[in-house]
Structure 1
Amino acid sequence: MGFEANGGFLLGFEAQGLAPLMTRDGLLPIVAPLAAARAEGRTLADLVAALPACHTAADRVQGIDRDRAADFLARLDPDAFFADTGEIVGIDRTDGLRVSLTDGRVVHLRASGNAPEFRIYAQAADPDAAEALVATYRDRVAARML
């Protein structure tokens, strides 16, 4: 599954009878928690209250050629690029570069699929931490690509 800043949701695999669909599906983020709450016999409010805090932030660097962005991501050494941010526990290159850190923070770097932009997404336990990650990596990407 993938996050889209515009509220979309990507599903690229078969999930309980749903055929793979590599397009945005705005209903899945609504239906999935409702189905989970019902399956657990809980209210939606109780289900959400039990989840860990997670805040997201997103930004972009404009004027970036997609081929150049793809080359940048292919050559990027995550250990060096994220060295001062925290210990990496997971790397996923399915759609750009998604780095998971030991403290639960995530940074996702990718070329836009529909504009000459480079997207930076982050998630963290509080909104300020998510915004700080986005600002840091927006500036690093801009410094190397502009």
Structure 2
Amino acid sequence: MTKPYAIGIDIGGTNTVVGIVDTRGNVISSISMPTQKHADFNDYTNEIYLQTKNMLLDSSISIEDVQGIGVGAPNANYYTGTIDNAANLRWKGILPLCDNLKGLFGIPVSCTNDANAAAIGEMTYGAARGMKNFIMITLGTGVGSGIVANGQVLYGN
């Protein structure tokens, strides 16, 4: 049986937004927190865990009912689960994003570039629903793009 919920995390240069969604994409609950608050990346991922755990409790949802976590982050590497040298984040180097979150939550975690995540969201639930070829341009603390060709996100460097 498919688990009824998923957690989505959008890491931006200014804010991080975490949401619990159901299988239809309806947002059950969400929170926002400042991305740059913690000098240490591990402290940052620990805060994501604690804030999300409280949100689950407030929504009466057990982590056992969550299929997994999807993360969109600047310069996130889909293949390695890391954030690689993001220019608009305070932490430098290669950051073990997915490993940290999987260790804390104990459920599957997948991450990708935040613009690719936005493209997937639009293709699944939004304005690009039914489209097989399009480009998603994101504007925020930085500029990004997600390219979809033949219904598949193009991943690269």
Higher strand share: 2
Greater CA radius of gyration, 1 or 2? 1
Same-fold status (TM-score > 0.5) = no
TM-score range, shorter chain: 0.3 to 0.5
What TM-score do the two structures reach when normalised by structure 1? 0.32
